[in-house]
A and B are shown apart, each in its own frame.
Chain A
């Protein structure tokens, strides 16, 4: 028990120290330090790219979102008042950009059932899922590909907001309270949006079960 208490206290201390270090970095970046800003970018770039890539399915679009998000962050970091965590703040910027992208795609009725890399080649996401058998089963591979396409098609039918909440909850594993902060809404609203999204997806995917 004592050991657990000490571990918990030291973890809290580490978290506080990390938070203090980040605040220092942010303050330096606010005075114009490029080195400090670059360090902040390094801390969050993987999460930003992962989210943008999974939502858009395109490396080009993920790069564009990354670029716009961090340029905006650089431009407006002076307005950051430490009222929320920097993580929430940067994700707010990214989710807004992703929402804009989803709305544009909805207007243009673009679907993506596959993931497009930088050179424009289509990559089957499911092919990157490892098969731990020693030989591959083409029929199963085809089934998985078709399944993936159907799921992508179902996700596309959600509204941009529903898609975003589902993405942040199901795929990125964020808490509903955090999702609410990122989308400038309440935890309750995020919960209701998740409920609607899952209901729609269940109906869309009913014939696959």
Chain B
């Protein structure tokens, strides 16, 4: 150093380097310092004992901090948290169609804000489409008004002796209902006014409420055991997975199927779907008890006993088990009931 000024300059640079070095020591210890700065830092630490001590202290602190380990969440905690979340999500009211539409519009607007040229083109296209659509709409409205006035007229009976217009005969399975029958006195002709079913189909996932409604309808009304089996199977799977199996709704449909369906396979699936709720829902428990007492299939009765195991100390369950143990026609079921009764000596 040639002068006092040089001495102060060197000292000032030394202090700034140490302050910066302290920060870089932390960044480097956590692997975030760029390589060129690591090299500069190492050079500085080679000359500065204070900073070397600072680094040792930081590394020691890191080791000490690791004495509080990060625990992995246990499977019970994960399962409980999931269940609680599922219940809360099930309890949320379904979003209305206008809310979904508004959300979609907002998403589209947000996308367009990032693309002004596209937005401009869309605006022009929108104005053109709107004008054309308005014209078409007014045309259709006029045509529809004309067809309504024709349809609203009461069905006229063709006068006797005149040739009736030929009408395509309906397929009986497509007839929903007969609304009226008209017979002209002295004539062989009978006019039957009927309403026709229009076959349709719909696709969707199991969390679509309309799909669920249709499946619940299918579980009760279908004349086909195969359709009832499929619908009850899907609904039962939802309940076993804990997806939206509220008391009023799917659970009710499964209880109806268990009580009244004539097909054993359908009743079995319904029972499987109700199993998770036998402890918490008294109505489910009663439905299962009824199945145990009244179902004519021994497999259903045996399965009911197994499902009732978590609540085998319940008074009503024990009463039914006692009755079954003495009066069931199937010796194996009588045996199993006695075994269950003997497992829980006291009524809770």
Give chain A's interface residues, CB within 8 Å of chain B.
30-35, 37-38, 41, 45-46, 49-50, 53-54, 59, 62-63, 66-67, 70-71, 74, 78, 81, 115, 118, 125-126, 128-129, 144, 147-148, 151-152, 155, 169-172, 175-176, 191-192, 194-195, 198, 201-202, 205-206, 208-209
Let me know if B32 and A205 touch, CB within 8 A: no
Q: Which residues of B contact A50 (CB under 8 A)?
A: 70-73
Determine the distance from Cα of A175 to Cα of B207 in the docked complex, in whole angstroms.
38
**A15, chain B: closest CB distance, angstroms:** 21
Give chain B's interface residues, CB within 8 Å of chain A.
22-23, 26-27, 30, 32, 57-58, 60-62, 64-65, 67-73, 76-78, 80-82, 84-86, 88-89, 92, 94-95, 100, 103-104, 106-107, 110, 205-207, 243-244
Let me know if B64 and A151 touch, CB within 8 A: yes
Determine the distance from Cα of A144 to Cα of B89 in the docked complex, in whole angstroms.
42
Inter-chain residue pair count (beta carbon < 8 A): 129
Nearest neighbor of B54 in chain A, beta-carbon distance: A202
Determine the distance from Cα of A45 to Cα of B104 in the docked complex, in whole angstroms.
27
Determine the distance from Cα of A76 to Cα of B207 in the docked complex, in whole angstroms.
19
Determine the distance from Cα of A128 to Cα of B311 in the docked complex, in whole angstroms.
35
Selected contact of A194 from candidates B30, B71, B107, CB within 8 Å = B30
Q: Which residues of A contact B57 (CB under 8 A)?
A: 202, 206, 209
Let me know if B80 and A63 touch, CB within 8 A: yes
**Contacts known (A34-B89, A74-B89, A176-B32); A148 close to B81, Cβ less than 8 A:** no
Q: Which residues of A contact B86 (CB under 8 A)?
A: 38
**B162, chain A: closest CB distance, angstroms:** 57
Q: Which residues of B contact A155 (CB under 8 A)?
A: 68
Q: Which residues of B contact A198 (CB under 8 A)?
A: 26, 58, 61
Let me know if A126 and B67 touch, CB within 8 A: yes
Q: Which residues of B contact A70 (CB under 8 A)?
A: 85
Nearest neighbor of A51 in chain B, beta-carbon distance: B70
* Sample of 25 A–B contacts (CB below 8 Å): A31-B100, A32-B95, A32-B100, A33-B205, A33-B207, A34-B244, A35-B205, A41-B82, A50-B72, A50-B73, A63-B80, A66-B81, A67-B85, A71-B85, A126-B67, A128-B69, A129-B69, A147-B64, A148-B68, A169-B30, A170-B65, A191-B27, A192-B23, A201-B61, A205-B60
